[in-house]
Every structure is written in C-alpha cells, then in structure tokens.
Structure 1
C-alpha cells in the first residue's frame, strides 16, 4: 500500500486533466483496502485506469486506486475455463492473455481502455459483445464497513453500459476480483457487426478477430498518450421503433441496430457528426476529427471546459433529432 498527499491526477486519467486530490492510496490487496478503510475517513473515490472519467475540479476526496493484480485459473473443464482476475489488471492485457491461451469470449472487446475492476460497472461492450455474456461473478469490499461480498450476474442488474454499480450502489463497493467463463473449444464466434464481417470470408479464429478489432479501433480512436480522451464519450441512444421510423422518414440514411422488437439503437457518433460537431474545437476541448463520438483534450483543456463542450453537443443533437444523448463517462 502506497500513500500520496496533495497529488496531481494528470497521470491517472486518460483525458490528461491536471487536477489535484487530497489523498491517494494505491491498493494491491483486499487486506490493504480493509486496513485503509479502518484507519481513514472518507469520502472516498475509487479509481481504476481513469479511462472512463472526466475530472471537472480538484478532488477533496480520499482516492483508492485499484492495483490488485493477477490472472488465475479458478477452475476448468474440457470445454471452458473460469478465470479469477484482479480488479487492477489492465483490460486489454487480459484480452491478449486470453487470446494467447486460446480462451474465447473476450476477443471482440480488444483494446478497450481501463481496468478489469471497472468493466462490470460499465458493462463494457463492443462489436456485438458485452461483458455480461462472459461474466460469472465478482468479489467486492463494501466501503462503509470493509466487509467482502460476492455478486452473481443477476445481482449486478446489467443493462446497456449500465449496472447496479452505476445506480443504487454507486461508489459503495470496491471491486477486487472479477470471474469470467471463457470457452476452450467450440468458440462462439461473433462477427455480426458490419466492420468485422467485411474482413472475413470464412469463420475466423479468435486471434484474427482480436487483431481486426485492434486495427479498426486504432484507425478510429486517438491514442490517449498523444491526445487526451476517454474513448466514446456518449452512449449510443436507444429509441422506440416508432421514433426511429419518424427519423428515418426525414433522414433515410440514418444507421441503426435492432435491440429488440420494440427498440432501435442509433449511433451517437452519426448524430453528432450530422449536427455539425465532428472535428470541431473550442479552445483545447474538441471532437475527434475521425470519430465524432470521441471528445478530446488538445492540450490544456480543463474538465469543466470539456463538459461544457459536451453539453453544447447534447443541446444541438436534441434540437436537430429530438434525442437526448447521455454521457458514457463519469463526470466527477
């Protein structure tokens, strides 16, 4: 356990926002976390990779940075394997490890920034796959009393980029380990999304899918080390079929993805681009020139400036399409 006082958080968030916090503890075990909770006062803020976060001001909080490591085979059969993974493990490193060992299920989620501990909170997803499809359970420590609890899939109330940890239990648990059930044989290949399907003439390996996803993401998304960003800033809105048909009458080329028999998902990036915000910049806050869904820090934008920029986009999209965008990142 390492303790830091009055520390800049610029290196701990992918937007590169230079704000300070009062105290920061780097936590590498459940025991360390329980010790900190018993010896210090809150309020606390749990920090993973800082990739789904917009810091709008200095933080008068005690920050608990999740650095619990380890990828462990918890159990296995001839067909599947259950991995127990530390919450501080880099997500993409886990995906590469799984692909290298020919464990299937994570390949479509390649190159998503962040840590394993944050992945259930957001129910991360990409290219037709969401975390809850391979999630088994998680271990977490309750911040209030330091007690360890296990959450099964049904306890997490997963939704589209959503979970119980973003709602009624927000900020109340520190996720220490996440368990995934992956395939060892008969992999469930998913290339349903057009950008992936277009790359393959036959059934690809999970390695080929992972490589393709990495290539696609790198072509569309900026490297946070070079241009501060948090990936997709907004959720893709889900609207009713009736609302979609009305929009399609006005905008025949509007793209969409069916969610169920009642709802349609519309790409937020398309809406933002058509509202005229792709590549726009106000000061050092802007929208990425190759993908309107990604907001960027061109150098010295503050968190509040990026949030003001985002609110202008929300307002314009609502005026043009009647759709209210919701942030995918956490605004703190």
Structure 2
C-alpha cells in the first residue's frame, strides 16, 4: 500500500470503526475523481467517515441536509443585490469545498438534485453569466435512506449515472459495535492532516499512470454490454427484468476505479480482481429494472452476480511489457 494512503487510512480509523469497504471506496473516489452514492440506515457513521477523511487530507468539508423545501441556490449559490453599491455580488454555495456530503439526497425535489449535475460532471458552477470552478480535489458523497419512502423523490437516472459507485453500508459486527460504544464515551481523537490537497492532486496524477491491459478494458465493455443484452452471455431469462442496462459511463468508471484500487494496493498495474471486486459497486445503480423484477424480488446485484459468473475473466498478462 502506498505510504500516504496508509497514513490517511490510519488517521481515519482513529475515528471510524470497521467500514473498511466504505473507506476504501471513498479513497477510490478521491483518487479517481469520482463521486460516491452511499445507501444505509441511519447511525452507521457515514457522515463521520467523510468528515474524518476531509481532516486527514487537510481539505474543506461541507454538509448539506437535503429537505423538500431546499432550492438550487441553497446548493450552488446565488447573486445578491447590494442596495448601497447598486451592484450584484455572487454568494458561493456549499458545493465550493473539497468534500461535500449531500445527506439524504433523495429528500429534495428533482430541481435541487439536478443542481448538482454540472458541478459533479464539470467541477464548475454557473451563476448568472459567470462560471466558477470548485476547489480541487472535489468529491461528492451522497447518502440515501433505504427504509423510508415517504417524503422522498427518486433520483433522476441522469444524476445517478454521475456517481462512480453506489456503496451499500451494513450494520457493524458485535465486536465492532462494542468498540464504537467504547469510543463514543471517550474523548474524541483529533484527526491530523497527513497530506494536503496539493499532494492528493499529485497522487491522482500517479493513478493516471497505472497501467491497464487492453484485455481488461475489453472485459469491462463486455460486462456493461451484457447488462443491456443478457442473452448475449446465455442469460436470456434475465431480459424480462432489465429495462435499461449500464451506460458506457459504467465501463469507463469501472476502469478508472480499478486503477485507483490498484494504486491503493501498491501496484502500478491493474489485475482482474481489481475490476471484479468493484463491479457491483460501479454497476448496480446503473441498471433500470422492470416492475417484474420488483415483483419477483430480483435486485440489480442478483442480475450482476449472474452476469459476472457467465463472463470469463481475462488471464492475459496484466503488466506493461518492459521497454
């Protein structure tokens, strides 16, 4: 594991118990310039994880609690008229930060959710006629509660597709929960910045140099294609469950995330396990299922597990040939 990555995780784990998969995915998002959608019941330290990560990288952290009465200006900012000077000034919103937590994003109407689209994709916000860049690095982590449907709005498919991964967070084990309670009644440990945003940008550039064998790119494309055409991999029985398969953004993000995972694990090349390990997180939110899937209790993970089992994993050399 890369030394700075190890230091970041060590600092975050002073505060967070367990949640290894979530922390690893958050780091992947930072290193691969992606955004993370997290689904889990309340009280699982999702907010604390992002806050601790922001502290470890010396970055800014803002949290927005999404509610039905939120308006786009509450997210991106607006122009404010100053009567004394007779001029408009731009008041920047909370998206101008390094780590933004969009808490319970599905509680706000589509207009507010869509306000995040430009900043998530382009890392900039247009207010009036002016365009403003957000700080780098920039990561949006959005949470949604799976156990309540009253007072929530379904995320538009266009926005869901902007998230690199959707991570499902479960309950801690009994041992982990004991440690959580123990820490809760002790003084809060201070999270120290072990890197700064400039160093993180350098790490992002190093991730860009991680080698990906063309066989793995082909595998990721075949995986995304198989979600659109299950019959092409001998899974014709799944066709009635899938309205729309994963978009090309899925195969792109699968490779980008796999490069970051390889870097976290101390390699300068991607192996097939990096791709297969992240496939569910990258693909699950990109499938649009039919009502028949809902009635038969078939989930995106059920379909993806079968697709992964039907596709042979590449066994070609994964290292770049020596020059």
TM-score of the superposition, structure 1-length normalised? 0.29
Q: Which has the higher strand share?
A: 1
TM-score of the superposition, structure 2-length normalised? 0.30
Q: Which has the higher contact order (CA 8 A, sep 6+)?
A: 2
Q: Which has the higher helix share?
A: 2
